[in-house]
Amino acid sequence: MTVGPLKEQQVARFHCDGYLLIDNLLDAEETRLLGETARSDDLLRQAAMDVKDTKGRRTELSLWNHPGDDIYGVVARSERIVLAMRQLLDDEVYHYHSKLSAKEPREGGAWEWHQDYGYWYENGCLYPQMASVFIAIDRCTRANGCLQVLRASHQFGRFDHGRHGEQSGADPERVAAAAERCELVHLEMEPGAALFFHANLLHASDANLTEQPRWGLICCYNTRRNDPYKPSHHPGYTPLVVAPDSAIKEIGARGAQPDQGFLRQEDDETTG
Ligand SMILES: O=C(O)CCC(=O)C(=O)O
């Protein structure tokens, strides 16, 4: 078992439920810096892909492969996240990609039920030994489209995925069967909270029909032993330079940084 900042019960809960919610992973100042940087970052906005749901509502998704020296990069490389990921996945982890998922007031779209490994499998990753952390920049509520999960659905293994509008979603027949067997959990989160979730956990979110934005930073990790067997639009094993937790405030105070290589729509299979 890998040693790190999480308690044994937290690791056990992740393995049982497929997710682990941690309040205040970022403190108020770190969350404010992350939110202010993202909202004032013209390059991030320009790089955003519009991902439409089946009703034509759109989520803006900006995506990049390598964590840089800006606040998004140091959050993704921060000791508190990387060491927790190592514990949860029980191996050295590397950054697979990060994305900013922005659901704007009244127009932010829904996400179909899917497993991230539904896509990542196609990228040559043989094991589902992969996970993400969703960090709430804004308060995430049922009304503005917080993440929903089917508790413990990662234990089913990977479902087939197909196209649903512009998104790729898990086989609806299997999702319905899973929903009869697993508890549906709406994960309401305060800004700064973080949801670690397994790559095979079924998750979705509703549209944002409120007046409040729902922005979140999602950092995704792969394990060293799961180095993809073929190239894809996301990287193979690349050693991750862990940043001290204090770097989030230090770097965050500098604001947005030059372009870090955002992916474009044609590089990406909708979300991952
Ligand atoms: O932002 C959301 O609500 C969900 C995003 C998501 O599931 C994904 O990018 O895979």
pLDDT of residue 257: 75
Ligand 1 centroid distance, CA of 159 (Å)? 17
d(CA 19, CA 11): 9
Ligand 1 centroid distance, CA of 113 (Å)? 10
Ligand 1, atom 10, lies closest to the CA of: 271
pLDDT surpasses 70 at 260: no
pLDDT surpasses 60 at 272: no
CA distances in angstroms from 243 to 79, 128, 163, 209, 260, listed in the order given: 6, 26, 38, 37, 17
CA distances in angstroms from 222 to 66, 117, 241, 252, listed in the order given: 13, 11, 14, 25
CA distances in angstroms from 56 to 107, 114, 126, 219, 229, listed in the order given: 9, 18, 33, 26, 36
Ligand 1 centroid distance, CA of 221 (Å)? 15
Residue 168: pLDDT band (50, 70, 90) is confident
pLDDT of residue 265: 56
Average confidence (pLDDT) over 213-231: 98
Residue ranges and CATH numbers for the domains of the chain are: 8-267 (2.60.120.620)
Residue 174: pLDDT band (50, 70, 90) is very high
d(CA 165, CA 146): 21
pLDDT of residue 189: 98
For ligand 1, residues with CB inside 6 Å are 99, 101, 111, 116, 145, 147, 203, 205, 216, 218, 271-272
Average confidence (pLDDT) over 11-32: 98
What mean pLDDT, rounded, does the chain reach?
94
pLDDT of residue 267: 58
Alpha helix segments (H runs only) across 90-211: 116-120, 172-181
Residue 145 contacts residue 108 (beta carbons within 8 Å): yes
Ligand 1 centroid distance, CA of 155 (Å)? 20
Ligand 1, atom 1, lies closest to the CA of: 101
pLDDT of residue 263: 75
> pTM of the entire structure?
0.95
Q: What is the pLDDT of residues 51-78, one digit of tens each?
A: 999 889 999 999 999 999 999 999 999 9
pLDDT surpasses 90 at 220: yes
- Joined together, the tokens standing for residue 94 give 């590397």
**230 — phi, psi (to 5°)?**
-140, 155
Average confidence (pLDDT) over 240-244: 97
